Amino acid sequence: MKQLSLVNRHWLLILALAAACRDAAGPEDPVRPYRMGFSAFPPGDNQTLALQALELWSTRADAAIMHMSIPWAGLLQGFTPEQALEQNGIGLANYFQAKHLPLTVMLDVTDGLNRSAEAPELVAMGRSITEPAVQQLYRQYARAVVQRLQPEYLGLAAETNLIRVAAPAPIYGAIVTMVNAAADELQALGTGTKLYISVQVETAWGGLQGTNQFEGVERDFEDFPFIEALGLSSYPYLGGWTDPDQLPDDYYARLRGSRTIPLLVVEGGWASESAPGFTSSPALQADYFRRQAALAESSGLIRWFQLTFTDLDLSGFPGLPPIAVLFARLGLVDAQLRPKPALAVWDSVFAFGSQ
C-alpha cells in the first residue's frame, strides 16, 4: 500500500521546507545491524497534524523512505522530471537530510492498491507503460530522482511478483523492459545509489493466492539481474496469518535463497483493528512488532521501514477505493497521534536494538 502521490499536496512541501531550515541533531549510529524509519504519509488533510507526525517519528528513526508514484499526468503534460520533483520530492528529501536520516526511495509504476491495474493517472489519460514514449518518461524520472534526491537505495518497481500474478502479461513485460533499461542508464552514470526492486512476501509464500505453497521469487531475480538488494513488502494479516508468532523464522530469508544480497523491508505492518477478511487488535499489532524485530535480526535486514507512522483518517483522502480500509489502521499512533501499544515496542527496539 503506497501511493504517496495521492497526497501530493503543496502544503506538505512547504512544511518540509520550513522544517528543513531548522538545525536538527541526528540520531547516533545504531547498535543494531539495521536502520529503522518511516515515510511521510500524513494521517489526513490536517496540516498541523501532518507536521506534528513528521516531527514525532523523526525522533525515533535513523533512516527514511519516500514511496513515490510516477507523476505520469504532469510528465505527459510537459513537466520535466526536475519540475515534478520540485513540487513533490526535493523539499522532503532536504528535510530528511537536515535530520541526518539516510534516504531510500521506492518508485511505484502501477496502481499501488490494485496490482492488476496500471496507475490511475495513466488509465485516465488512455495511456500505458507498454508505450515506448511512456517508458522513456519513466527512465528520465528515475534518473532525476537519483541526481536530485541522491538516495542511498532506489527501488525501480514495487511488488513485481504480485504484478506478475495479477496484471496482464504485457504490463509485467513492459515493467521488465523499462526497469532494466533504467538500471542500465543509471549504472552508466556511475552513481553510488544502490538499485533494487521490491517483492510481495505473502505472494511469495502463496498466501495472497490462497495456495499457501511457497513460490519464492526466483523469477524476479532472473528478470531483474541488476539488483543490489531486495525490497520486501509484507502484510502478513492479509496473507492468512492470524498470529504474528506463526511467521516462520525464515519468513524473509527464504526469499533470498543462497544469495548474500541485502534485504530491506520497504513497507508492511499489521493492522491494529479488524476489517473485512481478518481479525486483529492493538495487542496483536504489538506482538507483530516484537516478531518483526526477531525476523529483522535473524534475516540480516539492513532497513526496516514502516510505511505509515499514523493511522489514516480516510475522510481526508477522497477518491481512495474501498480496499484502503484494509490499510487504515497500520499506524503506531492513531490519526490523532495517540500512541498504541506497538509504539512502545518500536521505541524499545529502536533504542536497544537486538540487546
Among residues 37, 178, 166, the alpha carbon closest in space to that of 99 is found at 37
**Confidence at 319, pLDDT banded by 50, 70, 90:** confident
Q: How far apart are CA 302 and CA 276, in angstroms?
A: 33
**Would the pLDDT of 10 be above 80?**
no
Q: How far apart are CA 219 and CA 138, in angstroms?
A: 23
- Measured CA to CA in angstroms, residue 293 lies from 245, 264, 277 at distances of 12, 13, 26
pLDDT single digits (tens) 12-57: 443 444 444 444 444 555 578 999 999 999 999 898 999 999 999 9
pLDDT single digits (tens) 57-72: 999 999 999 999 999 9
What is the pLDDT at residue 317?
86
What is the pLDDT at residue 107?
98
Average pLDDT over residues 281-285: 98
What is the pLDDT at residue 294?
95
Average pLDDT over residues 76-82: 96
Are 269 and 308 a contacting pair, CB within 8 Å?
A: yes
Cell 510505511 appears where? 307
Name the grid cell of 4: 504517496
**Would the pLDDT of 273 be above 60?**
yes
**Would the pLDDT of 2 be above 80?**
no
pLDDT single digits (tens) 126-178: 999 999 999 999 999 999 999 999 999 999 999 999 999 999 999 999 999 99
Q: From start to end of the chain, where are the E strands? A: 35-38, 63-69, 103-108, 153-155, 194-200, 229-234, 263-268, 301-306
The amino acid at residue 79 is F
**Confidence at 179, pLDDT banded by 50, 70, 90:** very high
Please name each of the domains of the chain with its CATH number. 4-352 (3.20.20.80)
Cell 519540475 appears where? 83
**Would the pLDDT of 109 be above 70?**
yes
Average pLDDT over residues 285-291: 98
Name the grid cell of 352: 536497544
Q: How far apart are CA 280 and CA 243, in angstroms?
A: 9
Nearby residues of 43 by Cβ (< 8 Å), 6 or more positions away: 49, 50, 53, 310, 311, 312, 313, 316, 331, 335, 336, 337
Please give the full DSSP string across 64-129, using - where no structure is assigned: EEEEEE--HHHHHTT--HHHHHHHTTHHHHHHHHHTT--EEEEEE-B-TT-TTSB-HHHHHTT--T
Instruction: Report the length, in residues, of the chain.
Output: 355
| pTM to 2 decimal places | 0.90
